[in-house]
């Protein structure tokens, strides 16, 4: 019973907040893109910096997460490619089908990990988010533009996101032995300025996860859903097969216990909202991608509680 209650307390708030944003967006028109841009360029970088500066991250652990995510990503891509070829998908339809394998690590994964495993495990989810964002903004953009020779532009695109710089800044300060001050311990001006900076960053970091859920719900309200075999097949692979590949990748890279649990849960969410954005931006089956994003989120109401129950039961 305690495991079931833990699952409910972790999953229900995610869908409640996203559902509230969905309802408000259906009733009131507002600019979701502005909120999304603020989140991407301001709130998420602050969350990354705040989370990683307060917990020392071993380079070995970072390497295992990056390796496990790469293994899970490319295994999933190979499987999707095989399925797509069997279904005779070509051109943009093939690209869009492959793009559905990227999970929603931010808007969905971070709050689920926070509620399921607590604040202490959030930095691990942030590592997965940073590594996943690198893959989504390189491999994802390449898939969206693969007929246009997009490798160089995809790599350049990663450098536009301040989250990457916040990540490496936090790690650099960590290696130099800097720790964010908790309170004033004297009359030093430099200490007061450092504390003011840290508190400002933390205020923005605290707003990140609620903002991401609001964005997710509002974007779903703007989506016109398609149905079809390819849409539901993509959802099935993302929600039911991806967790198995993620678990295998985590185990093979030496992740155990809660470290493995955080990874598997975050990588097993619905398709990333960013893929629908790429679909519109690069004119690659935008309606199909938006539908997979929406349907996979709706189906995750069932799949995520089941997965969380298994993970929490196995990790104690």
pLDDT for 150: 52
Task: State the residue range of the domain holding 121.
Answer: 2-315
Number of domains, the chain: 1
* pLDDT at residue 146 in the model: 66
* Claim: this prediction has a pTM higher than 0.85: yes
List the pLDDT tens digit at each of the 316 positions of the chain. 577 888 888 888 889 998 999 999 999 888 888 888 888 889 988 988 888 887 777 788 889 999 999 999 999 999 999 999 999 998 889 999 999 999 999 889 999 999 999 988 999 999 999 899 888 878 887 887 765 555 566 556 666 778 888 888 888 888 787 777 777 766 677 778 888 888 899 999 999 888 888 888 888 888 778 888 999 999 999 999 999 999 999 999 999 999 999 999 999 999 998 888 788 777 888 889 989 999 999 999 999 999 999 999 888 7
Q: What is the 3-state secondary structure (H, E, C) of the chain?
A: CHHHHHHHHHHHHHHHHHHHHHHHHHHCCCCHHHHHHHHHHHHHHHHHHHHHHCCCCCHHHHHHHHHHHHHHHHHHHHHHHHHHHHCCCCHHHHHHHHHCCCECHHHHHHHHHHHHHCHHHHHHHHHHHHHHHHHHHHHHHHHHCHHHCCHHHHHHHHCCCHHHHHHHHHHHHHHCCCCCCCCCCCCCHHHHHHHHHHHHHHHHHHHHHHHHHHHHHHHHHCCCCCCCHHHHHHHHHHHHHHHHHHHHHHHHCCCCHHHHHHHHHHHCCCECHHHHHHHHHCCCCHHHHHHHHHHHHHHHHHHHHHHHHHHHHHHC
Q: What pLDDT score does 157 carry?
A: 61
Give me the pLDDT at residue 147, please. Answer: 52
Output the domain CATH number for residue 17. Answer: 1.20.1530
Q: What is the reported pLDDT for 279?
A: 82
pLDDT at 215: 86
Model pLDDT, residue 66? 94
């Amino acid at each position: 019973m305690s495991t079931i209650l833990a699952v409910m307390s972790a999953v229900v708030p995610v869908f409640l907040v996203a559902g509230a944003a969905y309802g408000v967006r259906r009733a009131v028109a507002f600019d979701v893109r502005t909120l999304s841009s603020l989140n991407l360029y301001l709130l998420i970088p602050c969350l990354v910096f705040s989370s990683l500066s307060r917990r020392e991250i071993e380079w070995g652990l970072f390497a295992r997460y990056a390796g496990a995510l790469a293994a899970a990503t490319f295994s999933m891509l190979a499987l999707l490619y095989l399925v797509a070829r069997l279904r005779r998908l070509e051109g943009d339809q093939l690209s869009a089908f492959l793009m559905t394998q990227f999970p929603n690590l931010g808007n969905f994964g971070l709050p689920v990990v926070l509620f399921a495993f607590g604040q202490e495990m959030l930095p691990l989810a942030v590592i997965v988010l940073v590594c996943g964002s690198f893959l989504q903004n390189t491999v994802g953009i390449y898939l969206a533009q693969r007929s246009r020779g997009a490798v160089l532009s995809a790599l350049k695109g990663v450098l536009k996101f301040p989250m990457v710089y916040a990540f490496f800044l936090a790690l650099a300060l960590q290696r130099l032995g800097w720790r964010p001050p908790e309170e004033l311990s004297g009359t030093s001006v430099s200490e007061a300025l450092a504390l003011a900076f840290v508190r400002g960053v933390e205020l923005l970091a605290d707003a990140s996860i609620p903002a991401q859920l609001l964005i997710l719900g509002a974007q779903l309200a703007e989506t016109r859903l398609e149905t079809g075999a390819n849409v539901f097949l993509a959802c099935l692979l993302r929600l039911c097969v991806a967790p198995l590949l993620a678990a295998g990748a985590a185990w093979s890279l030496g992740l155990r216990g809660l470290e493995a649990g955080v990874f598997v849960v975050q990588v097993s969410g619905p398709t990333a909202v960013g893929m629908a954005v790429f679909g519109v931006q690069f004119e690659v089956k935008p309606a199909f991608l938006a539908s997979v994003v929406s349907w996979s989120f709706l189906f995750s109401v069932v799949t995520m509680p089941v997965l969380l129950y298994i993970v929490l039961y196995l990790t104690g």
